[in-house]
Amino acid sequence: MQSVASMTEIPWTYYVYPIVALIFLYHVAKAIYNVTWHPLARFPGPRSFAASQFPYAYCHASGQLATTFHSLHQKYGPVVRTAPNELSFIEADALRTIYAERRKACSVFGKNYDTFNETRNQISNSVFLAGHGDHARMRKIINPAFSDRALRDQEPHIQYLVQKLITRLEEQAKTNGEIDLNQWYNYTAFDVIADTTFGEPFNTLEDPKYQPWINLIGKTWKAIVLASTMKSIAPPVTLLRKLLPTGLILQKEVDKFDLILNRVKEKIAHGPTEKADLLSLVIKSNANSAKEKMAESEIISNATLFVAAGTETVTTLLSSLTYLLTRHERVMSKLIREVRDAFLDDCAMTFQKLAQLDYLSACIQEALRLFPPIPEGLPRLVPPGGERISGYWVPAGTAVQVSILAATLSPTNFKDPESFIPERWLKSDPRFAADKLEACQPFSVGPRNCVGQNIGLMEMRLVMAKILWRFDLRCHLQEEWMDQPSYLLWEKKPLPIELIPVR
Ligand code: HEM
């Protein structure tokens, strides 16, 4: 019989090697199952993506998910297996099936965003992450704050802030050869959304104090994506992450929301004002709601979401449109002519009049198509019983999405998909008669679509029109500005532009 002393002499590797071998064998067996017998095995796509979650996680963590999905659809067609349990589609009918309103709660394609709750993040209790029932309840209370009437009430404040941007750019143009417009768009979007949400801006356009903080807040999305990626490949790693320096860094990024959080708390403490800001309207709508109301934590989370969702997205579109215009002289001249001919004075640029500029709207649509501010798909889960999507039967529990960038850049949906041709949106040009415009949905569709799209569109029209009315723009960048990584949203490089005053 072995003595206790001799047992303690057994090296630790004696136990570790078999455990490592078992884990390895388990993954190999699972990978073989995934590519051969798994219910999704018949769908096209690269074997490595079908076998394990790692290629998907790698693309996500390296900011290449949206562009990789685009390449995969180019190679494999309108449906691609992008992970062991995930399919990506690009056709418009898939958008309707996956995202549209459904009568029965049990047939809803629920959000697959559980992992985003991994970080202690300030939007955890918002509509963005809520389950079906809570989402419907909150969205009903929030919707009136985004009505046409509310937008009309907001107009003078947005006009004031955009005018301030123009004044600042005029000052800058006198002393600086080139100005990073991406940064100035970001300050403007931030001031507009803070004013729209709380009834007062952060004065970023005036006061440089908040500017470094705003430059960092865009990185919060990256932190959330990185944390969720870690969880998807190795759930236990997330426990470790909390103890590691990277974990601390991620948490620090998320903590940057606290400045917004404090502003929301102050506002709730003082109660709604007469000014029709989003938060006051939500508080009033909540008080009048006959059904279950929002808790204070949900109001806080949603107000924080308005700021987080309405800044980087608007900045992206303004920067990409500015860049595309400077690279396409014909489009730039046509747009300048439309804007400068329509107004004798830029004070006359009301939301109503700007909405009548068809070429401006077409340019915005085309920039949203070529460089959608949220380029990745928005994953959902197939409800119990399974569902037919784009002609394919898909089993229950499969994660499915329409990849926004892959759909908008697909030759299946658009002629010359990689070219910047706003005319395709005017519907009068026979060359683009076969374009499937409904496949381009940068604001998504259905009950969870973008609630702020009208505010966003008006703000973008106003900024672009005012800039083109005051300045000629030149871009001397040598490299392609739109080659950027994305972490749910594009990371965005500086956009140096020479502004030449024309008045
Ligand atoms: C170019 C501008 C914008 C784009 C492309 C955009 C895009 C989107 C998309 C695709 C969604 C759906 C997300 C999902 O299903 O997970 C969304 C949701 C949302 N957006 Fe926007 N957005 C923009 C501007 C804004 C603005 C200015 C606001 C202002 C408050 C805003 C507030 C929201 C909110 C609150 C949601 C969540 C809606 C819900 O879950 O019911 N967005 N946005």
CATH number of the domain that residue 253 is part of: 1.10.630.10
Answer for the pair 238, 119: CB distance below 8 angstroms, yes or no.
Answer: no
For the chain, what is the mean pLDDT? 88
Q: Report which protein residue has its CA nearest ligand 1's atom 11.
A: 450
pLDDT over 80 (residue 168): yes
Kindly list the distances between the CA atom of residue 219 and the CA atoms of 56, 59, 205, 212, 491, in Å, as whole numbers in the listed order: 21, 17, 20, 12, 8
**What per-residue confidence (pLDDT) applies to 268?**
79
Spatial separation of the C-alpha atoms in residues 333 and 337, rounded to whole Å: 6
> Residue 452 C-alpha to ligand 1 middle, in angstroms?
6
For residue 16, is it within any domain? no
For residue 86, is it within any domain? yes
Question: Is the beta carbon of 128 within 6 A of some atom in ligand 1?
Answer: yes
pLDDT over 60 (residue 237): no
Contact partners, residue 332, CB within 8 Å, separation at least 6: 325, 326, 473
> Residue 443 C-alpha to ligand 1 middle, in angstroms?
6
Nearest ligand 1 atom, CA 455: 27
Question: Is the beta carbon of 378 within 6 A of some atom in ligand 1?
Answer: yes
**What per-residue confidence (pLDDT) applies to 179?**
95
**What per-residue confidence (pLDDT) applies to 328?**
98
For residue 396, is it within any domain? yes
Bridge partner residues of 81 (DSSP): 87
Nearest ligand 1 atom, CA 460: 1
- Summarize pLDDT for 243-297 with one digit per residue, the tens: 444 444 455 555 556 667 777 778 778 877 777 899 999 998 998 887 789 998 8
The boundaries of the domain holding residue 215 are: 38-501
For residue 20, is it within any domain? no
Question: Is the beta carbon of 361 within 6 A of some atom in ligand 1?
Answer: no
Q: What is the ipTM of this complex?
A: 0.98
Spatial separation of the C-alpha atoms in residues 408 and 91, rounded to whole Å: 10
> Residue 310 C-alpha to ligand 1 middle, in angstroms?
7
**What per-residue confidence (pLDDT) applies to 148?**
93
Neighbours of 477 (CB within 10 A): 15
For residue 2, is it within any domain? no
**For residue 324, what pLDDT band results from cuts at 50, 70 and 90?**
very high
Query: Average pLDDT of 237-243?
Result: 52
Count the domains in the chain: 1
Q: Report which protein residue has its CA nearest ligand 1's atom 39.
A: 448
Spatial separation of the C-alpha atoms in residues 308 and 318, rounded to whole Å: 16
pLDDT over 70 (residue 370): yes
As given in the structure block, the two tokens for residue 424 are 């395709």
Q: Report which protein residue has its CA nearest ligand 1's atom 43.
A: 450
Answer for the pair 90, 412: CB distance below 8 angstroms, yes or no.
Answer: yes
Question: Is the beta carbon of 444 within 6 A of some atom in ligand 1?
Answer: yes
> Residue 335 C-alpha to ligand 1 middle, in angstroms?
27
450 labelled as ligand-binding?
Answer: yes
Question: Is the beta carbon of 379 within 6 A of some atom in ligand 1?
Answer: no
pLDDT over 60 (residue 3): no
For residue 4, is it within any domain? no
For residue 373, is it within any domain? yes
**For residue 14, what pLDDT band results from cuts at 50, 70 and 90?**
confident
Reference 397, options 408, 407, 411, 383; nearest CA is: 383
pLDDT over 80 (residue 409): yes
The radius of gyration of the chain's CA atoms, rounded to the nearest angstrom, is: 25
Question: Is the beta carbon of 457 within 6 A of some atom in ligand 1?
Answer: no
Question: Is the beta carbon of 374 within 6 A of some atom in ligand 1?
Answer: yes
Spatial separation of the C-alpha atoms in residues 401 and 385, rounded to whole Å: 18
Spatial separation of the C-alpha atoms in residues 188 and 196, rounded to whole Å: 12
**What per-residue confidence (pLDDT) applies to 6?**
54
Answer for the pair 350, 158: CB distance below 8 angstroms, yes or no.
Answer: no
Query: Average pLDDT of 73-99?
Result: 97
Kindly list the distances between the CA atom of residue 194 and the CA atoms of 73, 98, 232, 474, in Å, as whole numbers in the listed order: 39, 33, 34, 30
Convert 67-77 to b/e letters by CB count within 10 Å (16 or more is b).
bbbbebbeebe
Mutational test site, ligand 1, from 313, 363, 371, 455, max ligand atoms within 8 Å of CB: 313
For residue 10, is it within any domain? no
Question: Is the beta carbon of 190 within 6 A of some atom in ligand 1?
Answer: no
**For residue 364, what pLDDT band results from cuts at 50, 70 and 90?**
very high
Answer for the pair 158, 459: CB distance below 8 angstroms, yes or no.
Answer: yes
